[in-house]
Structure 1
Amino acid sequence: MPTESILMIDEFLKQSLMLRERREAYAHAIVIRHGKPISSKPGDKMIICQDGAMHGWIGGGCTHPVVVKEALQALQEGEPRLVAISPSGAVQPIRDFAQYPMTCHSGGTLDIYIEPVLPNPLVVILGHSPVGQSVARLAQEIGYSVAISEGVELAGAQFQFPENDLSQLPLADPCFVLVSTQGADDELALKAALQTKVSYVAFVGSQKKAKALKDYLRREGISSNRLNALRTPAGLDLQAKTPGEIAVSILAEIIQFHRNSTSGILEGDTPTETKTLTETVDPVCGMSVVVGSSKHVAKHGETVFYFCCARCRTRFETEPERYLTSIP
């Protein structure tokens, strides 16, 4: 394998690992077929972040707006997709492929597989109780990431945080917070949990204790919506008695909540907001361009125009009146 290919793969893997460790959603795009004179080749890869930033290589700039658009949609929907880019009429429509025209003047065809990579589920445990520790171990067994308070011993925990301080944790969905403090600063732990945007927050304790805590937290400024969404007692009703059984019921509820949620990016404390897609048309080639992702911009009068590549922008700047008439 050529040295440059090895370096590109290394960079791709490093970027993927960094985003995974930060629990940031991204999509990867992989070239699966190309037709000359496209410069990319099968196996070329690119990472597209939630803000539309690109890392890697899949070909010339004319293809980038399409790839970014489809990647951001894949992140929203949580589903992979196939994209075909080709000159108009060059190939027959392909089943299950999103079809786009190739606007690069050199021509060529390109088929790309785009797959969203969402954060691994994270279970955050507040408290040092046997129930919390059992939930943490069980969560690891099914491949979930775990965050625990400093001072709690758990091999393989991905994150640790200061007691009742979740401010530095990457709480992007899918994320689940369990308060299992057993009387040790219940109020502080539950307040910290409910001040996040995490959808699933559960409390291990009796209904009577939970009611008293809710009354206190309401006076502390926690909204009724957040308090009403609190799951207490935590877990499905399995008639559980022992700490281990209670932990199983809680993890079962977490799994049920996770699988019933939408498949794409959810509503947690997402580290990077997913870019809202605003599209316009390149006035030179007619290609759809994502506003904000295009690096090729020109202003004519009071209007800003976006282009798929530098060549289209240059042609517009040379003869703007020629292309203004073609704009709807």
Structure 2
Amino acid sequence: MAELKARRAPFVKATVVRARRPTSAHPGDTALVLADGNMEGFVGGTCAEATVRRYGLETLQTGEPLLLRISPDKTGEPVVEEGAVEVGNPCLSGGELEIFLEPVLPAPKVLVLGDTPIGRHLVALGPGLEYDIQAVAAHEVKAESLDGVAAVVVASHGRDEEPLLTLAVRAGVPYVGLVASRKRGEAVLASLDLTPEQRARIRTPAGLEIGARTPGEVALSILAEIVTSVRSEPPRTGGHTGVTENTAPAPTTAVDPVCGMTVAAVDSTPHIDLEGKRWWFCCEGCRAAFESDPARYTGAGAH
């Protein structure tokens, strides 16, 4: 997990919290569901793994943890409750599993321009909120380095402001803030080679109105405004707002034509291409059954 976190790669930690025999998994067994659907670890057989993959990828999109109950006796549509879902799994060996799915998303990344008191306070506040706040120099920031960035704050008090503001807005960074008085901020915005709509995306004076006076208080107000931006935006693929690197598109689902299970339609799920169509399966056993007699199953399950 440490390596994934270091690479800012989103993943889901799946932990078996309850197992009713007969089942091959035991409480405490864990696996990681990666953004491309690949899994590392063990939380049950291949059919249970298929269900964990499907719902793990869904929690990676929502960012919310989920208790997954898998039962061979459950029929019909999944039963969804707050924070939990119960699904049927006809492949299970007769036991039941409860698996806790915990998405682990990269910390929102914030870039701060300006070796100033406000800039330094912003960087210092990051660890307490588990935000990745980095001080940068203007020449270090390129368009590609803004991928996955949740916020850019320009707090350089007149130095190298315009290029970074323009770059951040054009790159689609969700929050762009300029530390300046209202009058100076308006003058800076007017000088930018941006459309009126693009200029309107820049927050200046940056920060919520909390009566801040000291550099630390101003930094706190800016960070509060960034948190508001991060939490109010719809979840993006793989995690917090502004987190886009190392993620895969939101998965679609398909029905296994052999057993009827709904599975994630991703490359790591067993599949077959037949006559221009792709067929998805919960496990290698179902794929082998399909291969032995495709005509028996081709009435359902195409994606």
Fold match (TM-score > 0.5):
yes
Aligned with residue 148 of structure 2, among 172, 185, 193: 172
Aligned with residue 186 of structure 1, among 161, 167, 179: 161
Match of 2:278 in 1: 304
Structure 1 residue 167, shift from structure 2 partner? 5.0
Structure 1 residue 267, shift from structure 2 partner? 4.7
SS in 1 for 2:200: helix
Query: Would you say 1:270 and 2:230 are equivalent positions?
Result: no
Structure 1 residue 95, shift from structure 2 partner? 8.5
SS in 1 for 2:208: coil
Aligned with residue 282 of structure 1, among 256, 265, 268: 256
Mapped to 2, the partners of 1:123 and 1:47 lie a distance apart of 27
Change in Cα spacing, 1:326 to 1:246, as seen in structure 2 (3 Å) is: closer
Mapped to 1, the partners of 2:300 and 2:182 lie a distance apart of 67
Match of 1:245 in 2: 217
Pairs within 5 Å for 1:1-328: 16-88=1-73, 96=81, 97-104=84-91, 106-149=93-136, 163-167=139-143, 169=145, 172=148, 175-218=150-193, 222-262=194-234, 265-268=239-242, 270-324=244-298
Structure 2: runs of 5 or more not aligned: none
Change in Cα spacing, 1:188 to 1:38, as seen in structure 2 (3 Å) is: same
Kindly provide the CA deviation profile for residues 155-208 of structure 1, in whole angstroms up to 9, marking residues without a partner as x: xxxxxxx744155657536x3221011122122232333243321110011333
Mapped to 2, the partners of 1:201 and 1:290 lie a distance apart of 36
CA RMSD of aligned residues (A): 2.9
Structure 1 residue 102, shift from structure 2 partner? 2.3
Structure 1 residue 259, shift from structure 2 partner? 4.3
Question: Does structure 2 retain, via aligned residues, the 8 Å contact 1:24–1:172?
Answer: no
The residue type equivalent to 2:86 in the other structure is Q
The residue type equivalent to 1:234 in the other structure is A
Change in Cα spacing, 1:314 to 1:216, as seen in structure 2 (3 Å) is: same
Mapped to 1, the partners of 2:162 and 2:10 lie a distance apart of 32
Of 16-25 and 254-263, the range deviating more from structure 2: 254-263
Mapped to 2, the partners of 1:192 and 1:170 lie a distance apart of 9
The residue type equivalent to 1:165 in the other structure is V
Count, aligned residues: 296
The residue type equivalent to 1:213 in the other structure is V
The residue type equivalent to 2:214 in the other structure is T
Mapped to 1, the partners of 2:59 and 2:211 lie a distance apart of 41
Question: Does structure 2 retain, via aligned residues, the 8 Å contact 1:180–1:203?
Answer: yes
Mapped to 1, the partners of 2:188 and 2:125 lie a distance apart of 27
Mapped to 1, the partners of 2:281 and 2:126 lie a distance apart of 48
Mapped to 2, the partners of 1:20 and 1:107 lie a distance apart of 36
Kindly provide the CA deviation profile for residues 217-269 of structure 1, in whole angstroms up to 9, marking residues without a partner as x: 22xxx454332111001112234333333223223323343444456735525
Question: Does structure 1 retain, via aligned residues, the 8 Å contact 2:66–2:101?
Answer: yes
TM-score (norm 1): 0.78
Change in Cα spacing, 1:297 to 1:182, as seen in structure 2 (3 Å) is: same
Mapped to 1, the partners of 2:227 and 2:291 lie a distance apart of 56
Mapped to 2, the partners of 1:255 and 1:87 lie a distance apart of 43
Change in Cα spacing, 1:301 to 1:165, as seen in structure 2 (3 Å) is: closer
Mapped to 1, the partners of 2:10 and 2:208 lie a distance apart of 29
Share of identical aligned residues, percent? 35
Question: Does structure 2 retain, via aligned residues, the 8 Å contact 1:80–1:116?
Answer: yes
The residue type equivalent to 1:76 in the other structure is Q
Mapped to 2, the partners of 1:302 and 1:243 lie a distance apart of 62
Mapped to 2, the partners of 1:182 and 1:300 lie a distance apart of 62
TM-score (norm 2): 0.84
